[in-house]
Chains A and B, each alone.
Chain A
Amino acid sequence: MSVTHTVAPVEAGRSWFQKLVRARESSLVVLIILLVAVTAAIQPSFIFSDGGWRELLRQPTILILISIGEAIVIITRNIDLSVGSILCLSTYAAGTLFANVPGIPIILVVLVGMLLGAFLGLINGLLVAFLRVPSLVITLGTLYAYRGIAILWIGPHFIRSSWLPADFRALGTMPFLGIPVLLWVVLIVVLLVGWFMTSRRSGRDLYALGSNPEAATLFGLSERRLILGAFTASGALAGLAGLAYLAIFATGDAQVGTGYELQAVAAAVVGGVAIVGGSGSIWGVALGAFFLATISNALPVLGVPSLWQQALVGLFIVGAIMLDRILFISRIRRAKREGSAK
């Protein structure tokens, strides 16, 4: 054959150690450990009290669930701003179910909450996929629309903890193998979603779509199916987060979850998801959400005035984006160098 290209050795993949050091997940773990250690050194009861460590682990679960759903949507180069409103509707639906159907199995209520969320997410997905309007606009609309429905429905009422069965309220505290059941649930969900996104074709298709939508269309990937799937998953996870909220706080009104959508976006970005889609891991996002929620818990303990807390969170978001950008540029440079070195 006339191919006379000299066969250069294929460059070996970076070692697992290098990968580990470079990964966003590792820096987040370090940050979280630092944050907790410093806080505990100043105020030991932050972890070393009866409820302390449990509170530390339990509080972030709501944000973690919402954020991994948000991440799935952002990975497809979309955004879902309606998750806070979906959470609210799911919380109140679950609360009223418990109140009106005594003895209803907890698992059934959880399923109803998730299905309600999935349904609302599906509406988002349908609007985005078929109207071909940017999801930023569509979900900004449904953010208000869903919240409006919540206000009409709930009015001035709120969920009383007496509505909830004791077993349900115990989910956030009752230990199983030493760890509260709620945490187990969230851990399993994170692992499942993460596995799906890294190891199933549909998960990889979501990354492909966000990475290069035109190529995805040329390739024959069904953009509509993927968008519907992503928004439905995000809605279902927001619904599940609503139940986590109910289990932890045992209350809820028409304003529950306000502002969560932006926290979820922030957690996704801090966790390493590129806002333009195509990259980032679910594990990173879960850690990002844990980190942001823990900052909010730790800053008051550290005596940081509440005025400064939001500014600090903002600083982390901007820092994470700048870090992403710098890493991205250096990656491109390296790729070009390697490309031209051949």
Chain B
Amino acid sequence: MTDAALLKLSGVNKSFGAVKALVSADLTVEAGSIHALIGENGAGKSTLVKIIGGLYRRDAGEFLLEGESVDFHNTKEAKDAGISVIYQEPTLFPDLTVAENMFVGRQPYNRFGGLDRARMRRETVELTRRLGVPIDPEREARGLSIADQQVVEIAKSISLDAKIIIMDEPTAALSGVEVDRLMGIARQLRDEGRGLIFISHRFDEVFALCDVLTVMRDGTYIATSRTADVTEDDIIRQMVGRSVENLFPKEEAVIGGPVLEVKNLTSAGVFDDVSFIVRSGEIICLAGLVGAGRSEIARAVFGVDRYDSGSVAIGGTSVPAHNPMGAMRLGMGFVPEDRRKQGLAMAAGVQDNITLAIREDLAKLGFVTSSMEEPSARTWAARLQVKTHALDTEASMLSGGNQQKVVLGKWLATEPKILIVDEPTRGIDVGTKAEVHRLLSELARRGVAVLMISSELPEVLGMADRVLVVREGRITADLPRAEATPEKVMYAATHATGETA
């Protein structure tokens, strides 16, 4: 190398409170190349991108742009330095025209001091033509397809003469034709001498498009290789390469008859032909990448969302569609992913939250008093070891782990036959995580069927009796505990053909 690399980060570190998002991230991007950034969910890719784009500031480490150390305080500084980030959900202004979106903040003026709309229009037409996707410059950005919005963002990057263009999972919402088009544009940008960073979970795209790839895991740099020198298996090993820690005290449970039976569940564009059975005492994990459709399946099973066809049954009785109350009556419980927004009444006390789902049973003549609620609330708070000095403490005042215990307590109080838990340990410290695992395991031992969604591979492998891997709305692998290895799960979660290795 004679010149300094276009972009070079080394040892970059970033924490949010106690959470270490990046421990030590390295990335070197050369001009005229497409660089893939790969890693599991939570590996720190997005944080790294946000640091490069000026949205976050690093805590420590080196960040060189063409050999010069830089430290961006905001996105504008990064943009002025020639860095352009295209987020998964493009960030256009829906009420402004396409042409104006292209020039926000730097619109050209005419000699009367007003906007030179003709010039904006002309340049927009020219740029979008050059990308092979002409878009009416006069139309509002509202209603443009995601693909067209990305084209507008890319055209904007070109007109800003960005040296580095970062695309964060740009293909996630695109159709096949649109992906091809985007890849064509990306190659065109590379050949113009720009550096591209491409984040994708689809290995086929990475191998088809990218020259170099960097793998990250747990906020740490793992390896950089030329795409031509590695195989998918190598990358998968780098992505998951860690031992399953013994954090998960899975108890042996007697697995009984079927409790939850889901048959051919389909919701157009969301998930397709999903069938599985959860038996009593069994923990089934839905594994896969964020956005694969796991939460959507769970929400449809519980009845929060509608589905187009298929059936759900508990113990042979069919569960009414789109009717959570009906599902609850049949013995289903659902601990949602976002406990703060969907799982808890944040302003209400611990007691009120725990008894929320059993209030009808506690009520006498339609009234519920605090003294009627107290015994159940106290029992469950004690059994789950919720750390609070009083049962009337507001839920919002509890730590994440204790909040999760309260949500679990609410559903356990209903004595469910089947409990669905969506990302039960997200944002919870390690110690409490183990407690949540112990609780789920104990539930299974008592004969409850558990359907768990988790993006953390060690958790999945540690807890599950059976792992179902979901990829783009379909179940691509059904692995019993003995056969579930990190490589197999990751392969099924990322690989386009969907065959298990």
B125 on interface, CB distance cutoff 8 Å: yes
**Measured CA separation A210–B96 after assembly (Å):** 11
Q: Is B132 a contact of A331 with CB atoms below 8 Å?
A: no
Residues of chain A within 8 A of B183, CB atoms compared: 2
Asked if B93 and A207 sit within 8 Å, CB to CB, the answer is: yes
CA A217 to CA B53, docked complex, whole Å:
12
- Contact partners of A5 in chain B: CB under 8 A: 132-133, 181
User: Which are the 10 A-B pairs with shortest beta-carbon distances?
Assistant: A335-B143, A220-B76, A215-B91, A199-B114, A278-B95, A3-B132, A220-B75, A211-B95, A3-B184, A13-B138
A39 in the interface, Cβ–Cβ < 8 Å? Answer: no
B134 to chain A, nearest CB (A): 5
Check B93–A336 contact: CB distance below 8 A: no
Q: Tell me whether B305 is interfacial, beta carbon within 8 Å.
A: no
Cβ contact within 8 Å between A335 and B93: no
B382 within 8 A of A: no
User: Which one of A10, A204, A207 contacts B135 once the chains associate, using CB atoms below 8 Å?
Assistant: A10
**Chain B residues touching A, majority SS:** loop
**When the two chains form their complex, are residues B75 and A218 in contact, meaning their CB atoms are under 8 A apart?**
yes
A339 to B144, CA, bound (A): 6
Given A207-B93, A218-B55, A336-B143, A199:B74 Cβ within 8 A: no
Flag whether B104 is at the interface (Cβ < 8 A): yes
**CB closest residue in chain A, given B117:** A199
CB contacts (< 8 Å) of A132 on chain B: these are: none
Known: A199-B113, A201-B107, A331-B142. A220 touches B129 (CB 8 A): no
Return chain A residues, CB-CB under 8 Å to B140.
Answer: 331, 335
Q: Using Cβ atoms and an 8 Å threshold, which residues of chain A touch B107?
A: 201, 204
Q: Which residue of A lies closest to B87 (CB)?
A: A218
A207–B181 Cα distance when bound, in Å, is: 32
Q: Is B105 within 8 A of A221, CB to CB?
A: yes
Q: Does B136 contact A (CB under 8 A)?
A: yes
Neighbouring A residues of B87 by C-beta, 8 Å: 218
**Residues in chain B near residue A219, CB distance under 8 A:** 75-76, 91, 104-105
Residues from chain B with Cβ under 8 Å of A171 in the complex:
none
Cβ-defined contact, B115 with A339, below 8 A: no
Instruction: Mark each residue of chain B from 132 to 163: 1 if its CB lies under 8 Å from any CB of chain A, else 0.
Output: 11111111101111001000000000000000
Contacts of A13 in B (CB 8 A): 136, 138
Number of interface residues of A (CB under 8 A): 42
A41 to B134, CA, bound (A): 54
Q: Which of A181-227 contact B (CB under 8 A)?
A: 195, 198-201, 204-205, 207-208, 210-212, 214-221
Q: Which residues of B contact A199 (CB under 8 A)?
A: 113-115
**A91 vs B267: C-alpha distance when bound (angstroms):** 62
Please list 24 pairs of residues, one from A and one from B, whose beta carbons are closer than 8 Å in the complex, sorted by A's number: A1-B188, A4-B184, A9-B134, A10-B135, A10-B137, A11-B136, A13-B138, A199-B114, A199-B115, A200-B113, A200-B114, A201-B106, A207-B95, A211-B96, A214-B91, A215-B91, A215-B92, A215-B93, A216-B93, A219-B75, A219-B76, A220-B79, A331-B142, A334-B143
In the complex the two chains form, is A204's CB within 8 Å of B96's CB?
Answer: yes
Interface residue? B94 (CB, 8 A)? yes
In the assembly, what is the distance between CA of A225 and CA of B79, in Å? 19
Q: How far is the CB of A2 from chain B (nearest CB, A)?
A: 4
Question: Does B100 sit at the interface, judged by CB under 8 A?
Answer: yes
A7 interfacial by beta-carbon distance below 8 Å: yes
Q: Within 8 Å CB of B95, what residues of A? A: 207, 210-211, 274, 278-279
Q: Report whether B134 and A7 are in contact in the complex, using a CB–CB cutoff of 8 Å.
A: yes
List 5 additional A-B contacts (Cβ < 8 Å) besides A10-B134, A195-B114, A335-B140. Answer: A199-B113, A201-B115, A208-B104, A211-B96, A335-B143
With A199-B113, A204-B100, A219-B104 known as contacts, the answer to whether A10 contacts B142 (CB < 8 A) is no
Q: Measured between C-beta atoms, what is the minimum distance from B156 to chain A in Å?
A: 10
Contact A208 B96 (CB under 8 A): yes
Report the Cα distance A13→B74, complex, angstroms. 36
Check B240 for interface membership: any CB of A closer than 8 A: no
1/0 contact trace for B80-99 toward A, CB 8 Å? 00000101000111111000
Query: Does B488 lie at the interface of the complex (its beta carbon under 8 Å from any beta carbon of A)?
Result: no
Interface string of A211-249 (1 = CB under 8 A from B): 110111111110000000000000000000000000000
Q: List residues of chain A with CB within 8 A of the CB of B125.
A: 10
Is B131 positioned at the interface, with any CB of A under 8 Å from its CB? yes
Q: Determine whether B187 belongs to the interface, using a CB cutoff of 8 Å to chain A.
A: yes
* CB of B185 within 8 Å of the partner chain: yes
Is A3 a contact of B96 with CB atoms below 8 Å? no
CB within 8 Å of B: which A248-306 residues: 274, 278-279
A3 touching B181, Cβ below 8 Å: yes
Q: Shortest Cβ distance from B90 into chain A, in angstroms?
A: 8
B135 surroundings in chain A (CB, below 8 A): 10
Q: Which of A11, A212, A218 contacts B94 (CB 8 A)?
A: A212
Report the minimal beta-carbon distance from A304 to chain B, rounded to whole angstroms: 37
B181 touches A10 (CB 8 A): no
- Known contacts A3-B188, A331-B140, A339-B148; is A211 also within 8 Å of B75 by CB? no
Report whether B184 and A1 are in contact in the complex, using a CB–CB cutoff of 8 Å: yes
Minimum C-beta distance from B436 to chain A (A): 32
Cα of A8 to Cα of B142 in the assembled complex, Å: 20
In the docked arrangement, what's the CA distance between A329 and B221, Å? 47
Give A69 Cβ to nearest chain B Cβ, in Å: 20
Distance to closest chain B CB from A186 (angstroms): 22
Contacts of B136 in A (CB 8 A): 10-11, 13
A170 at interface (Cβ–Cβ under 8 A)? no
- Chain A residues in 8 Å Cβ range of B187: 1-2
Q: Give the nearest-CB partner of A205 in chain B.
A: B105
In the complex, A278→B125 CA distance in Å? Answer: 24
Cβ contact within 8 Å between A218 and B91: yes
Task: Name the residue on B nearest A75 (C-beta).
Answer: B95
A3 to B95 alpha-carbon distance, docked (Å) = 30
Q: Which residue of A lies closest to B182 (CB)?
A: A3
Closest chain A CB from B387 CB (angstroms): 30
Contact A278 B114 (CB under 8 A): no
Q: How far, in angstroms, from A16 to B403 measured CA to CA in the complex? A: 58
Rounded to whole Å, the gap between the CB of A276 and the closest CB of chain B is: 10
A336 and B113 CA atoms in complex are apart in Å by 35
Q: In the assembled complex, which residues on chain B have CB atoms less than 8 Å from the CB atom of A31? A: none
- Within the assembled complex, what's the spacing in Å between the Cα atoms of A169 and B144? 54
Give Cα A239–Cα B401 distance, bound, in whole angstroms: 53
Q: Which residues of B have CB within 8 Å of A208? A: 93, 96, 104
| Set of chain B residues within 8 Å of A315, measured between Cβ atoms | none
Min CB gap B114→A, angstroms:
4
Give A333's nearest chain B residue, CB to CB.
B143
For residue A137, CB closer than 8 A to chain B, the reply is no
- Interface assignment of A332: CB less than 8 Å from any CB of chain B: yes
